[in-house]
Structure 1
Amino acid sequence: MERTNSIRRKAMARQHKAEVMIAGEQLRLRLHDGKLIKDRRYHLRTYPNCFVAQELIDWLVSHKEAPDRATAVCLMQHLMDNEIVHHVCDKRPVFKDAKLLYRFRKDDGTFPFNTEVKIFMRGQRLYEHLIGDKNSVLQLREEHGVAYQRSFPGCQLIDWLLQNGEAESRSRGLELCRALQEHGIIQHVVKKHDFFDSGLLYQFCINFRRRRRLSELLHESEQDNDEGLAVSTQEDNHSDSPFVLRRNPPQEANNGFPSVKSNKDLKQVTSGRRGSLNSLQLHSAGFPPLVQLSSASVLRCNPESVLRRNVTCEELMAPGAPFIKKVLTVIGDALGWGFVVRGMAPCYVQAVDPGSPAAAAGVKVRQFVCQVNGQCVLYLDYRTVSRLVMTGPRIAVLEILEPLK
């Protein structure tokens, strides 16, 4: 019993950490949309993707995320303590309501992708997959006369993991489910049992799609966590969720992927919406005359590469090479990720939709893709890299090399 209580306490602490991560990511996306995060110059140096603390406090109060400036500072300090944001030079451990520059760690590649974060991201991906499954194991079930929404027997979840290639064997599936429970992502419906490959009922503790208010970070309680399990399907599909379509598709025809060439080289044939990565038809020797973005849109793209010169894999990896390594996290929406890759090896970014998740994450043209979700892709062609992104989770973690300017 003491061991079970200890695991439960650790799970609650990790669940709170997960809630902080989700709230921080939702805030980051909103600030990018509101143009509060941008490149700023200070003392003859440019700091990319940062915000001014004083401006952010103004924004939090005006958007009713905090009742006053002191509370807003406490909220940002909480994000800072959880390694969501930091001072641009990492010299100030305390968040100040002043004209100081801070940055989200996901925007500069310093976010710590440790084991805990990887399990959290795995749990989020499984949740999204299960929610979207027509024959989902998440159903209204009854145990001891009590009904539980979106619950599942442990044995059925392991069956699902095996059927969908998420686990190699039942023992591996059991290990994964116990790790998810240990990190506060799933739990027994009445919190009495560890995870077993049996008919016991379990639920997801975290509703990944629910819109968080920052004030929840300072006033979370066990009751709040319990209530989170009963959130309705309507709330799950809230349009402001970062895990569903966040922005209305543009109705105008001026949203084609831009390259660094002039506008006259990028001619729109018919109007349409932004296409996802998997809807792009690319060719290694050059783009074909037409690139299909969707069933209702056709775009004429510049056939020339955006690279100023050809670069080899050996040159990229050479000691002292003029490139900066960054880790970027792109959360795809219903329209895709919003960037185009090209090249046989190394693969590079040919174009980025300015209103896409890729642009918000810091993806830019001429960046070379080194890793996708922890897998080295430096020596792979664009077809393989595209396939890895398309068949992977909605969150794509990219390690890139950016040329020094």
Structure 2
Amino acid sequence: MEKMGSSINRKAMARLHKAEVMISGEQLRLRLHDGKLIKDRRYHLRTYPNCFVAQELTDWLISHKEAPDRITAVCLMQHLMDHGIVHHVCDKCPMFKDAKLLYRFCQDDGTFPCNTEVKVFIRGQQLYEHLITGRDSILQLREEQGVAYQRSFPGCQLIDWLLQNGEIECRRQGLELCHTLLEHGIIQHVAKKHNFFDSGLLYKFCINFRRRRRLSELLNESEREIEEGVSEQAPEDNHDDSSFVLNKIIPQEDCSAFESVQLNKPLKLISTVGRSSLNSLQIRSIGYIPPATFSSTPVVRCNPKSVLKRNVTCEELLSPGAPYIKRVLTVMGDAVGWGFVVRGTAPVYVQAVDPGSPAAASGVKVRQFVCQVNGQNVLNLDYSQVTRLVMTGPRTVVLEVMEPLG
């Protein structure tokens, strides 16, 4: 099988970052319109439609916790300017300044460049929406070489779907489209080992277009690319002693624990790479590290001891007369995430819950066993598969759990 070269990986990573910038910019634009920060404004006897005041936006970013300070807020907006998302209303100021200057989103005045890259991105977004919302979607949990992948699809099935839905006229045209989507970082082989083939190899979308982005991710991702030379990302969840925290926007290497959880292994230091934001569920004794400096600051990582008093099997949970009660909980994630930790393998259980999180408010408790996530049975999955299922799903998560009686 043909291997993807490092140059292809680097280009895909760079394009993926550009796509994330485009999505983040569009989400910010819609939020600013909803908040009435974008409106027609008058300056020097002239009216500028659909613009915002830089100083007001800086205040908004800080008040909505998108940036910890004004300097970071300016850096975030400059990042959007550098990618052609935002510009000065007269294009006289190439730098974003924290002042009473008027800026505008290129999308609002029709100046957003509709080049080949943008067209491919839009096509990929449209296909993702059709696939994710359609009945009997081909995006399913599948296995390749002993590893399960959420929302994956065989290359041949995607081309079949494109033909059936009139997206292409022939398989050759479908193969060319899929090659283009892969080269632009929209889709990829699940293990990042192969180019696109009209075969049973599994592929997935690199981008969850529906996920709410935090602007701080843009700077962290940019810093990570510089530090790593746009190298290939490390596999997720490859630490045997890790507990995955669902209070993050994107699944990355975890380093969380709670005050109520004892430690059974020595603490060890790691350096973070490309963190989206500081996880609010870290051990309180570590102290708070501002998000602006988190990507370059070593942090303490620990290995929490299981909260279960003894091991429980799926057969025991499902046996008649078992001392467990089944509950259905609806957790609506906020801008930070959901706020609970899961661990274990067949069954997965709740390791810890942030007291002030949406999970706590919805009734998620420690020692509950997770049976279903959004209607899908997860009793035979491990914690990494369950977390991927939650993180790639909708913002509102429906959990079916079993908890001990009494």
Normalised to the residue count of structure 2, the TM-score between the two structures is 0.56
2:209 corresponds to: 208
Partner of 1:104: 105
Contact between 2:251 and 2:391, CA under 8 Å: does it hold in 1? no
1:238 paired to 2:239: no
Distance between the aligned counterparts of 2:22 and 2:137, measured in 1? 26
Counterparts of 1:180-219 in structure 2, within 5 Å, are 180-219=181-220
**Deviation string for 1:15-50 (max 9, x for gaps)?**
100000000000000000100000000000000000
Question: Is the 1:75–1:215 contact (alpha carbons within 8 Å) kept by the matching residues of 2?
Answer: yes
Q: Which amino acid in structure 2 is aligned with residue 151 of structure 1?
A: S
Q: Does 1:170 align with 2:171?
A: yes
Aligned partner letter, 2:124: G
1:67-106 paired onto structure 2 within 5 Å: 67-106=68-107
Q: How do 1:264-303 and structure 2 match up within 5 A?
A: none
CA distance in 2 between counterparts of 1:233 and 1:122 reads: 25
Q: Secondary structure at the match of 2:66?
A: coil
Separation in structure 2 between the aligned mates of residue 228 and residue 155 of structure 1, nearest angstrom:
28
Q: Does the 8 Å CA contact 2:162/2:168 hold for their aligned counterparts?
A: yes
- How far off its partner does 1:232 sit? 3.6
Distance 1:21-1:231 versus aligned 2 partners, 3 A rule: farther
2:126 alignment counterpart: 125
Alpha-carbon separation, structure 2, partners of 1:136 and 1:200: 17
SS in 1 for 2:5: helix
Give the distance between the partners of 1:233 and 1:110, measured in 2 at CA. Answer: 37
Q: Equivalences for 1:16-35 in 2 at 5 Å? A: 16-35=17-36
- What displacement does 1:104 show? 0.2
Correspondence for 2:57 = 56
The answer to whether the 8 A contact 2:76-2:215 is kept is yes
Task: Give the structure 1 partner of residue 273 of structure 2.
Answer: none
1:234, distance to aligned residue in structure 2 (A): 7.3
Residues 16, 185 of structure 2: 8 Å contact kept: yes
CA distance, structure 2, for counterparts of residue 225 and residue 96 of structure 1? 38
The answer for the alignment partner of 1:331 in structure 2 is none
Distance 2:235 2:47 in 1: 42
How many Å separate the matches in 2 of 1:157 and 1:68? 45
* 2: CA distance, partners of 1:155 / 1:161: 10
Aligned to 2:13: 12
Letter in 2 for 1:180: L
Question: Does structure 1 retain, via aligned residues, the 8 Å contact 2:208–2:392?
Answer: no
Question: What is the CA distance between 1:235 and its match in structure 2?
Answer: 6.0
Higher mean alpha-carbon deviation, 207-216 vs 5-14, is at: 5-14
| 2:139 paired residue number | 138
Distance 1:37 1:224, change over 3 A: farther
RMSD: 2.0
Alpha-carbon distance in 1 for matches of 2:80, 2:190: 30
* 1:14 partner amino acid: R
Return the letter of the residue paired with 2:165: N
Extract unaligned runs of 5+ from structure 1.
240-405
Q: Is the 8 A contact 2:150 2:389 kept in 1?
A: no
Secondary structure in 2 aligned to 1:179? helix
Deviation, 1:223, is 5.1
Deviation at 1:5, TM superposition (A): 1.4
Runs of 5+ unmatched residues, structure 2: 225-231, 237-249, 253-386, 397-406
* Cα shift at 1:237: 2.6
* Deviations 1:165-208 (CA, angstroms, capped at 9, x unpaired): 01110000000000000000000011010000011110100000
Report if aligned partners of 1:152, 1:203 keep a CA contact under 8 Å in 2.
Answer: yes
Query: What residue identity is the alignment partner of 1:237?
Result: P
TM-score of the superposition, structure 1-length normalised? 0.57
SS at match of 1:218: helix
Cα distance in 1 for residues equivalent to 2:84 and 2:235: 22
- Which residue of 2 is the match for residue 297 of structure 1? none
- The residue type equivalent to 1:13 in the other structure is A
Could you say if the C-alpha distance between residues 93 and 224 of structure 1 is closer, same or farther in structure 2, counting changes exceeding 3 Å? farther
Q: SS of the counterpart of 2:220?
A: coil
Per-residue CA deviations over 1:300-357 (Å, capped at 9, x if unaligned) read xxxxxxxxxxxxxxxxxxxxxxxxxxxxxxxxxxxxxxxxxxxxxxxxxxxxxxxxxx
